[in-house]
Structure 1
Amino acid sequence: MDKDKLRYAILSPDDYKKINDQLANLDALDVIRWAYGQWDEDLVYACSFGAEAMVLIDLIYRVKPKASLLFIDTELHFAETYELIDEVKVRYPELNIEMIKPAQNREKQVKAEDEKLWEVKPDLCCKERKLAPLEKSLQQYSAWFSGLRREQSATRQHIQFVNADKRFGKVKVCPLIHWTWDEVWMYINLHNLPYNKLHDRRYPSIGCAPCTAPVAEDGDSRAGRWAGRSKTECGLHQ
């Protein structure tokens, strides 16, 4: 594949099909190696620090210890999430973890909008506190990793290893598409990886504290995100 086409994300649907056909029989670690072979420093991991993220961080570190990670610090995360980030910094000291924040801090937003914007206008809250800062940070990269898995929800069943990122105009690489939830935890336990302790309290998917709830034991992994609303995604993965 022409690297200029990869660099500027000017790939056609046929290009994406050819790439994914070439990668079809590779495992997650091989896909990560392939991706760094294409983009190297022009590739970043936009990380949520969920269970999948811990697996992906560990795999990335095996390939590129000085990899760049972005974490969208909405200032609304659980204390457990921030504690995990500190653990990750100790375990993977060479990683470059950038905490990106919204242009408007939470206090100013409260004055300008509403103390509970996430309740009255959740899409606007996600746009201001997640999408806008990530879009700004991704401008310096051509591609980014995501921990999306097909098993997570009906809206993610057709994700490929390499995807056109229509939201940000980049290439999105998803090495874990074939992994099951059980396989994610098998890897975490096998390698004794740190993880968010909220997972032990039935939080399979963890986002901002006001918009994340525990789920029933047999519930969908995304059921705790914006529970009781029709909203199921923040908008990062369109």
Structure 2
Amino acid sequence: MADDAHTETSSQSSGDHGSVDSGFVSPSTSTVSLPRISLTQPHLKHLNKQLESLHPMDVLRFCKIFFPNLYQSTAFGLTGLVTVDMLSKLDAESPSATPQPVDLIFLDTLYHFQETYDLVERVRERYGVRVHVFKPADVDTVGQFEELYGEKLYDMSAELYDWIAKVEPLQRAYSELKVAAVLTGRRRSQGGQRGDISVLELDDERGVIKINPLANWSFAQVKAYVDEHKVPYNALLDRGYKSIGDWHSTVPVGEGEDERAGRWKGQAKTECGIHNKQSRYAQWLEKSALQQQGQEVPAA
């Protein structure tokens, strides 16, 4: 899993809260030659109204044209895999044109199931897509991670674990790759904080535009597409899992349970933080620092 691995730390600047200046950079052109594009909330509302009724393939077709410097962030769940397959079909529509593949960003927390790592290789082989792997800063193995942070950090301090293993590596990915727009696998039918997402969203703190091309698809629609097009998928899905993250916080779901019910079972949390406001983590880190200094921390 060392291909394109990045372990050095870096920072990610925030955008303006009213709009996001894209800074889009096409792989085939210089920064200077590209127009600067800003999306305000009225622009976004208009675009979402147009995109809402489109098939995901058409959403992706639009995004590949409108957002030249486009990446896909994925943990290789079913929705992300459908997106990868659809993008490959879009490339095949114009075989004579210069291919413009969308590279993938994979956050290797070091605690994924082996089945997930196996799937990454199968996707590489099937689609020939480039996967940029980002791990926690300065470590490459579980042993190195636990030497720095102790065993079972995910149990001892879940917020800190999420920051180190997921949020910071994603920030680093956005910064190093100069990501301006990113495809995600979030859907409304997944419930929780995802229940009212739009196709396009401004992530003004990270300075990127998030695109949820399958926002209005159900799990059944996603699974039907996977079956029809023989898309490779995680073997754990055949063992009762529906949403798959780290092995220590993912269990199979029961009959009638929500798709993401197997994530953080028995806990109040439903997200790892990469789709939450960064300020939540900044506040948590500040609170932790005060606690370590023995100062009284007022209740939020």
TM-score by length of 2: 0.74
Q: Structure 1 stretches of 5 or more lacking a match?
A: none
User: Could you tell me which of 17, 26, 35 is aligned with 2:63?
Assistant: 35
**What secondary structure does 2:106 align onto?**
strand
Tell me what 2:274 maps to: 236
Tell me what 1:162 maps to: 200
More helix by share: 1
User: Could you tell me which of 172, 180, 201 is aligned with 1:136?
Assistant: 172
Q: Structure 2 stretches of 5 or more lacking a match?
A: 1-19, 25-36, 92-98, 277-300
Tell me what 1:50 maps to: 77
Tell me what 2:52 maps to: 24
Residues 77 and 234, structure 2, Cα contact 8 Å, conserved in 1 = yes
Alpha-carbon deviation of 1:107?
A: 2.4
Name whichever of 57-66 and 15-24 sits farther off.
57-66
**What secondary structure does 1:207 align onto?**
coil
1:87 correspondence with 2:125: no
Alpha-carbon deviation of 1:5?
A: 4.2
User: Could you tell me which of 138, 148, 152 is aligned with 2:186?
Assistant: 148
Question: Which whole-Å CA distance do the structure 1 matches of 2:264 and 2:38 have between them?
Answer: 34
Q: Which structure has the bigger radius of gyration?
A: 2
Residues 202 and 217, structure 1, Cα contact 8 Å, conserved in 2 = no
Tell me what 2:153 maps to: 117
Alpha-carbon deviation of 1:231?
A: 1.4
Residues 72 and 99, structure 1, Cα contact 8 Å, conserved in 2 = yes
Question: Which whole-Å CA distance do the structure 1 matches of 2:266 and 2:242 have between them?
Answer: 17
**What secondary structure does 2:131 align onto?**
strand
Alpha-carbon deviation of 1:166?
A: 4.1
Alpha-carbon deviation of 1:129?
A: 0.7
Identity of aligned residues (%): 35
Tell me what 1:15 maps to: 43
User: Could you tell me which of 231, 234, 259 is aligned with 1:221?
Assistant: 259
Tell me what 1:126 maps to: 162
Tell me what 1:76 maps to: 111
Tell me what 2:9 maps to: none
Question: Which whole-Å CA distance do the structure 1 matches of 2:252 and 2:55 have between them?
Answer: 31
**What secondary structure does 1:109 align onto?**
helix
TM-score by length of 1: 0.92
The superposition leaves residues 32-88 of structure 1 with CA deviations (integer Å, 9 ceiling, x where unpaired) of 111111122x11000110111111110111224622101111111000001111111
Name whichever of 17-26 and 149-158 sits farther off.
17-26
